[in-house]
Chain A
Amino acid sequence: MKIALTVNGECRETEAWGGESLLYVLRERLGLLGSKNACEQGECGSCSVLLDGVLVCACLVLGAQADGHVVTTVEGLADGDRLHRVQEAYVQAGAVQCGFCTPGLVVATVDLLESNPSPSDDEIREALSGNLCRCTGYAKIFDAVHRAAMS
């Protein structure tokens, strides 16, 4: 089947098998490898993207469901070489280690700061509790969110 969607401001069309997730379509059909395949069952948040502005796990959405909709992935946040302020904060805070969870966390943080520009620690914890990170112990991720909120 053919699906067409707007990804990071660009209209894209692709062939896809009906059983493919949006994550598979983004990664394997459109070559947008930033969204990660850590659990592919909606538990870890590594594939977080914005679908019509709503934070979703791309692994839990069928590619076909995104037909005609607007998707923002981690690749759509930076302005060329200029990092998004959330991305910059993650780098500066040391919130990136292996980095596999990072794209999902960055997208989730952008979403959080959109609705709550200066979140408390508890609000950050709750907002990011759907994104598993195995390396950092989260402390530097909280630092990054505060940094981004203040920048």
Chain B
Amino acid sequence: MSATATTPGVGRVGDSVPRLDGPPKVKGEFAYASDLQAAGMLWGHTLRSPHPHARIVEIDVSAALTMSGVHAVLTHDDVPGQKTYGLEFADQPVLAHDRVRYFGEAVALVAAEHPEQARRAAEAIRVVYEELPVVSDMERATEMEPLHPERPTMGHGYRDDPRPNVVRHMVIRHGDPDAQGDVSVTGVYEVGIQDQAFLGPESGLAVPDGEGGVDIYVATQWLHVDRDQVAPCLGLDPEQVRIHLAGVGGAFGGREDLSMQIHGALLALHTSRPVKIVYNREESFVGHIHRHPARMWCEHRATRDGRLVNVRMRILLDGGAYASSSTAVASNAASFAVGPYRVDNALIEATAVYTNNPPCGAMRGFGAVQTCFAAEAQMDLLAAELGIDPVDLRLLNALAPGDVLPTGQVVEGSCPVAETIRAAAAIPVPPAEELPRDPIRLPGGAGNTTRGEGVRRGVGFAVGFKNICYSEGFDDSCAARVVLRADGSAEVHCAAAEVGQGVTGVILQVARTELGTDAVTLMPHTTSTVGSAGSASASRMTWMAAGAVRDACRAALEQRERSGGGEVDVERVHRHPRTTPLDPESGQVTGERAHVAFACAAMRVVAEVDVELGLTRVVWVGTAQDVGRAINPIALEGQIEGGTAQGIGLALMEEIQTRDGRITNASFTDYLIPTALDMPPVESVLVEVPEPAAPYGAKGVGEPPTVVSTAAVAAALRAATGKPLRRVPVRPDEIVGLALS
């Protein structure tokens, strides 16, 4: 019913290994969450709010209940346990009661025999709403009526902000925030709402166990934390809720929050039948969290010879209706606001607010994408102001081990910023292609919109920087269990979510390397047979899973040695070096470190712009990435190319559009992601300086390409147009000069 065991193969740490799930995936045999089936299965459907903010006056389900094929219609009254859930604060209702706070919020559930019956029954539920004023402007949110009047105090060392609708206000004061330089540059930057837009829609199957408990087969990023959110809402003990990883069609942070887990389980327990829920594309867009849109006010001061003296940034992030991971995103945006540069003085403020806009949470790059876009634009402004080459300016300020971050943390371990910048700068830029040429290679592509008269070429450079693993005192761990059989073969259990990034390959490579055998089977990912692996996010899964599997393999070998043979079965939990929270008043590190390790990427982008039409084409990308050590180079290149595509998407086309809190482009017709025609060739160089604290020296690789690429594309477009382009996605009217920017 769920993913099956991954079969043995070959490949050790450092080898380029094709995916073991490749053959079933190319044959169409791999079972994704939306492919699950069970005897007697019903289809679930979720009724969602058509209003971004409204009071619920009445819900009448009587008509829906009597419709053909319908087995259950549930509302908040049917939630047996805790009524709300959430990753950091339990502020999100399982089903809305009293009021709805965002467009698309779940209000009621239906289970029926055919998905069309379920959809029609949901339409027949009568909900009477009284619309309330919509808080849609993040700048005004702090002055408006609180959306969560009974908001819990934050605790955890967070600074409680007295203003309404502030989820987290984070301040970093470093050195003398008034320090002057010889020159200063300022800018206000904006990032729109990006969506993860994974291809496999949210889906899952909930199966009642007949004894009051439930098995949930779902596409998720963190099985155990799903269980810990689901069980209290169902009024069950954690062991009565078993989460099993079903095939995941991409994640990118969008599956950190719950989707159908509780809803499916409620319907299954209510009907005593398996219930499957599959979101359609529109529901996926409104039903999951997005990347935080941001507005950033920046001032960079430097000496005449180009050394950064002081960076001041104010960052405002719209978290939407519920907290999700806004607190951590705000902290990350602040922590990485300056980029991988040395600066003795800084004042950085990041504020995440509640609004009635779509809820925002984790997405690849997690706060660092937004600030990298602003900070790198500032570095280019500074380079221009000083008459210094942008690459040289970055090299001059490049962070290195021993330097102090704005949080007061001393950089330790591997931090090859200058090496990475040099490696990217050394990749030869292709020559400009002559005109005339095939229209497919012009901005606008096959649209045949021009012969290229208005085409200008620009080259941009950017550097991005981000933490690896969880931070700020989070007790981050990963468990793995190894069973060594008498015949020398082994099975490995680890609940690390394979979301497409290739962690199952890493686990197998590590186990084969440590055990010295190819006869290793990775068992299904589940909460039933092994402890938590933590989430497949924060570029942490390779580090943590490799550490846990390595530790368990070594312990198993030792135990077998001691026992002189026979079967051994050991579980080990891996932890990275301990972190501590930042001081809530000053944002300064309270122990040795708030972040475990860092990874950077440098990227040069060549873009062409048709300045008459406002159309763009990214021609070429050359990038160097600090990876610590490559465990599987072919998978790593795929991550770099894919992560770059998402950054290009944010720079050029990807934006959730809202009108008064309502999403107006919830489809692949209207929310555009890069196609094969939009993606340039990507030349990548791996910079390998092993991270001493990490298993095998490997750093996670998923996020840095996305952090850097939006900034690099924007730089290339500025170079081509001479326009400031302070907002992404860049719009055609900004390129042709019709819009104020």
Contacts and interface: CB of A to CB of B under 8 A. Distances in A.
A78 B23 CA distance: 10
Interface string A24-50: 000100011111111111011010000
B681 interface: yes
Contacts of B673: 132, 134
B199 A91 contact: no
Interface string B587-609: 00000000000000000000000
Interface in B41-96: none
Contact of A139 (B32, B441, B500, B641): B641
B201 interface: yes
B500 A135 contact: yes
Interface string A66-100: 00000001110110000100011011101011111
A96 B24 CA distance: 11
A100 B249 CA distance: 5
A124 interface: yes
Contact of A126 (B197, B440, B669): B440
B199 A137 contact: no
Contact of A94 (B252, B438, B635, B645): B635
A128 B642 CA distance: 16
A99 B637 contact: no
Interface in A97-127: 97-103, 106, 122, 124-126
B118 to A, nearest CB: 13
B199 A46 contact: yes
Contacts of B200: 36, 38, 98, 100
Given A17-B114, A43-B667, A44-B668, A102 B637 contact: no
- Interface size class for chain B? 35 or more
B335 interface: no
A97 B501 contact: yes
B199 A140 contact: no
A98 B199 contact: yes
A95 B429 CA distance: 25
B669 A41 contact: yes
Interface string B659-676: 000000001110001111
A122 B252 CA distance: 29
Contacts of B251: 98
Contacts of B501: 97
B34 interface: yes
A126 B199 CA distance: 20
A96 B22 contact: yes
B740 interface: no
A44 B23 contact: no
A138 B642 CA distance: 8
B250 to A, nearest CB: 4
A98 B668 contact: no
Contact of B281 (A41, A130, A139): A41
A65 interface: no
Q: Which 8 A-B pairs give the minimum distances between C-beta atoms?
A: A34-B28, A98-B500, A100-B249, A137-B641, A99-B25, A91-B22, A43-B668, A74-B28
28 contacts: A33-B28, A36-B249, A37-B34, A37-B278, A38-B281, A41-B667, A74-B26, A75-B28, A83-B26, A87-B23, A87-B27, A94-B637, A94-B638, A96-B25, A96-B26, A97-B500, A98-B248, A98-B249, A99-B22, A103-B25, A122-B441, A130-B675, A132-B673, A133-B199, A134-B252, A134-B646, A135-B250, A135-B500
Interface of B: 16, 18-19, 21-23, 25-32, 34-35, 37, 114, 116, 196-201, 248-252, 278, 280-281, 438, 440-441, 446, 499-502, 634-635, 637-638, 640-646, 667-669, 673-677, 679, 681-682
